[in-house]
A and B are shown apart, each in its own frame.
Chain A
Amino acid sequence: MTTAVRAKGAPRTGVDWFLLVMRVGLIAFIVIGLLGFVAQQIDPTNAWATWRHGDEGAARLSWAQFQGLVVTGLSQGAMYGLIALGYSMVYGVLGFINFAHGEVFMIAAFTGFIMSTKFDQAGWWDSGAFIPAMLFTIVVATIVATIVAVVMERVAYRPLRGSPRLIPLITSIGVSFFLQNAVILLFGPGAKGYAPFPDWLDKDRINIWQIGESDTGVPEYLLSVENKKLLVIVVAAISMAGLWYFVERTKTGKAMRAVAEDKEIASLMGIDVDRTIVTTFAVGGAMAGIAGILWGILFKSVIATTGFLPGIKAFTAAVVGGVGNLGGAMAGGVSLGGAEALAPLMVLDPWGIEGPSQLRDAVVFTLLILVLLVKPTGLFGERLSSEDRA
């Protein structure tokens, strides 16, 4: 972007006013909503709550419920973050948004489904062999996702290298449809359920320090996390740390960043640019692959359109974090997942909006707009001079 600023003393245009009102309005809406939430937690029948919700006032969230929201937001966000990394890396290196990236994620989730059913048939899934079977499933799904991403680059994008960025962008939309329909053709349009996971993973929780009991006699804990969500968060964190190490500390990672910045000079350093681009797709694909399996663990079902919405949200996360910036992609994913889980009840509900959870997608895109309004380059994006990005 240019650094042009409205000249001092120049009259505000209608657009300026509109943007100002948008910014003030959005932030005020959020702040008032949050204050309303705090108020109704203290007193569900305070004046604001009865005004917005009617005489019986608002509903109060228990500590366990609030925790549940945070954990679900984090695990969802971790997945968005993992997918967002792929968008961000490819954008960094090739300067276009690979819209087919969500399908890589979906294919990994499908691979997980196939593997889980096969293992289940072989009797491994619900026996002591579950853990090796699960690890093997993760590895295979990651490899499949990596291969899909690499083949996609080879077949669809490499021949377009050097053409205007719009061309690969549109191609990626085509690739996305192709992959979706290929999966429908192979497996049918219906949802596919994973073989049931053992209870210790799917149902059990880690509970720390009982602090009381709910009205219905269910114990409440200071900290209570479902094992599967904990697993998702931990695996995502490890993968992200691994990726960070790879990009920041290894020679290939440096080469990748060099290619992202200046392909000609990178090749002058002796870096094989094509190979580095393939590596980028492969690493992004692997991250999406891990995310796909985590999706399977969380939701136990997959459908040909599974990649669409998480893909769009991950892309949003990448933009919110500052596209091309890996830390930003992770942070963007987690904040998006968190906002999506928390905002309906912490911002929209205090305003008395009916069915706030239906507006989750609106929350995501409002957050995107808010971030762009306040910091156009994204949370962690660097200001790029016009010579960097023509």
Chain B
Amino acid sequence: MSIWGAVTKTLGGAKVKKLFMILGMFLSFTLVAAACGSTIEDAADTATDAASDAADAAEEVVEDAMEDDEEDAMEDDAMEEDDAMEEDAMEDDAMAEHLGDGSLGTVVVEAGAEVQIRSLNAISGDVAFLGVPNQRGVEQAVVDYGPIKGFNVTSGQGLDDLCSADGGQAAAQQIVADEQIVGVIGTSCSGAATAAAPLISAAGMVMISGSNTSPALTSDQQGNAGPDYHVGYYRTAHNDLFQGAAMAEFVFTSLGLTTAAAIHDGDPYTEGLANAFANAFEELGGTVTTVTGVAKEDTDMVPVLTEIAAGSPEALFFPIFQPAGDFVADQAPSVPGLENTTLLAADGLLNDGFMGLAQSEGMHFSGPDTRFGTNTNESTGVSAEEFLATYEANNGEAPAAPFWGHSYDAAAMLLDAIDAASWVDGDGNLNIDRQGVRDHLNGIQGYSGLIGTINCDDFGDCGSQKITVILHNDSGDIPGSLENVVFEYAPQ
């Protein structure tokens, strides 16, 4: 009898076998899922691509329809002659003053009711430091903006994206179920956005994120939509292709290092940024030794760091979050081969929690240029300095992460768009044309916001795209480090 026969024989019992079968299936599923995770995503991407193609087609029709507006108007005139109803004419006149063609429907806000927008940010868990200032930025913008055509605006109860696809999806389902909602400011995390954007888009709403930066959510900046792009998605945060390029240029040119490695945690934001960095670094002529991943819950980073150390990189870029980032920064110097490696992180760790740790000293951080100074939002007339003063007065603390300005501008832009796409009808109700809101956002050029000049491209990228790299020398003086800009980057 073969060894395998003997091994089989030692197993026995129907129950045990059943258990094994289940375990076996579980295992194969795990392995398949782990190995082919990207394949599954690809399949999903194809599906969403198809969806966005369809949406694009719809948009074209809309544009055609807009061109036909004049003809319509003429027809209307003819009808007026037939049975002259003055009220109709008045309504038509009023409607002619707003953007949009009604193709996505209208939101009717009854007299006395409030215009509904929502904040969807990571306000609990590890990433709350990022989401909470975003939400407060939205709330402050709503207050500063004031009423639209006499209608008050509310951002309602702040929703939580949990910084995960699950959280984003659940919150988006809750949002699209409420037909009164015009748009959403959020999400905080790109991972949540990939799940929320398709739902928001399909419901005809808009979504403007102040801190999503994954290239997949908009475009590759070469005119190709990202796999997770959906019509109606916009962001005032930068596209990480710029951040990756900025970091790569800093490492290669300013630091003069030629080998580098990168770590992501499987999140679209981190993976997108790590890859953007790696690609840009290789384009510059550097060598990327390893691009690898950790699990978000990992604490013992020695194995992954050893994997990286085997390639002996001079720089290690880990654009991940806390707490995983804490452990990478802490353990890297103790791994043989990484003793002298330069550690670099991105805006995911550019916060008080991480920068307050001793192990973060000496690290470089890339992030959006947050030197907003006296930049003023043109819609509210509030400057960044004024905003910060109000923020501290209201919350008793300075914002812990830099995207409050982006969220503030995002909210102001949405409110502008609502203003442009709405009219008050004969019953005193505010009508908001959903397509009009999108039309307005699509057309934003040269808008001046807290974060600088905002131009929206065809795929919803509206950010100023200015990136800075700072050197963090003292965990006791974080504001000082934030001012310590060692490299600036702005796309041509």
Where the two chains meet, the residues of A that have a C-beta atom closer than 8 Å to any C-beta of B are 1-6, 15-16, 18-20, 22-24, 59-62, 64-65, 67-69, 72, 76, 189-191, 193, 196, 203, 205, 214-216, 218, 220, 224, 226, 298-301, 303, 305, 308-309, 340-342, 344-345, 349, 353-362, 365-366, 369, 372-376
Which chain B residues numbered 1 to 34 have a C-beta less than 8 Å away from chain A?
4, 7-17, 19-21, 23-24, 26-27, 30-31, 34
- The reply to whether A358 and B9 form a contact with Cβ atoms under 8 Å apart is no
Q: Is the interface of B mostly helix, strand, loop or mixed?
A: helix
25 interchain pairs (CB within 8 A)? Answer: A1-B13, A1-B16, A4-B12, A5-B9, A15-B17, A15-B21, A61-B310, A64-B336, A190-B353, A203-B334, A218-B339, A299-B299, A299-B300, A301-B323, A308-B297, A309-B297, A345-B303, A358-B292, A360-B298, A362-B30, A365-B30, A369-B24, A369-B27, A372-B23, A373-B20
- Minimum CB–CB distance from B88 to chain A (whole Å) comes to 57
A369 to B22, CA, bound (A): 10
> What chain A residues lie within 8 Å of B337 (beta carbons)?
62, 64-65, 214, 216, 218
Give A190 to B322 CA distance when docked, in angstroms: 9
Residues of B within 8 A of A (CB): 4, 7-17, 19-21, 23-24, 26-27, 30-31, 34-35, 124-126, 128-129, 266, 289-295, 297-300, 302-304, 306-307, 309-312, 322-323, 326-327, 330, 334-337, 339-340, 353, 357-358
Q: Give B356's nearest chain A residue, CB to CB.
A: A193
Q: Which residue of A lies closest to B30 (CB)?
A: A362
Provide the bound-state CA to CA distance between A24 and B3, in Å: 11
- Most chain B CB inside 10 Å of its own CB: which residue of A220, A224, A374, A376: A376
B23, B302, B307: which contacts A72 (Cβ < 8 A)? B302
Closest chain B residue to A356, Cβ basis: B307
> Contact: A19 with B20, CB < 8 Å?
yes
Which residue among B15, B16, B21, B310 has the maximum number of chain A CB atoms within 10 Å of its CB? B310
In the complex, given contacts A226-B334, A298-B300, A360-B303, what are 5 additional A-B residue pairs having Cβ atoms less than 8 angstroms apart?
Answer: A2-B12, A64-B336, A65-B309, A357-B303, A366-B27
Given A190-B126, A226-B334, A357-B292: A372 and B13 interface contact (C-beta under 8 Å): no
Please name the residue on chain A nearest to B311 by beta carbon.
A59
Given A189-B126, A190-B128, verify A24-B27 contact (CB < 8 Å): no
Q: How far is the CB of A37 from chain B (nearest CB, A)?
A: 12
B322 touches A65 (CB 8 A): no
Q: Which residues of A contact B11 (CB under 8 A)?
A: 19, 373, 376
- Residues of B within 8 Å of A68, CB to CB, are 302, 306, 334-336
With a cutoff of 8 Å between Cβ atoms, the chain A residues found around residue B13 in the complex are 1-4
Cα A121 to Cα B307 in complex, Å, equals: 39
Closest Cβ–Cβ distance, residue B405 to chain A (whole Å): 23
Out of B293, B302, B339, name the residue touching A69 (CB < 8 Å): B302
Q: A76: which B residues are within 8 A, CB to CB?
A: 300
- Given A5-B9, A23-B4, decide whether A191 and B323 contact each other with a Cβ distance below 8 A: yes
- Whether A1 and B353, one on each chain, are in contact in the complex, defined by CB atoms closer than 8 angstroms, is no
List B contacts of A24 (CB < 8 A).
4
Residue of B nearest to A342 (CB): B303
Q: In the complex, what residues of A have CB within 8 A of residue B129's CB?
A: 190
A23 engages B7 (CB within 8 Å): yes
Q: Which of B8, B23, B353 contacts A20 (CB 8 A)?
A: B8
Name the residue in B14, B291, B297 with the highest tally of chain A Cβ atoms < 10 Å from its Cβ.
B297
What is the distance, in angstroms, from B301's C-beta to the closest C-beta of chain A? Answer: 8
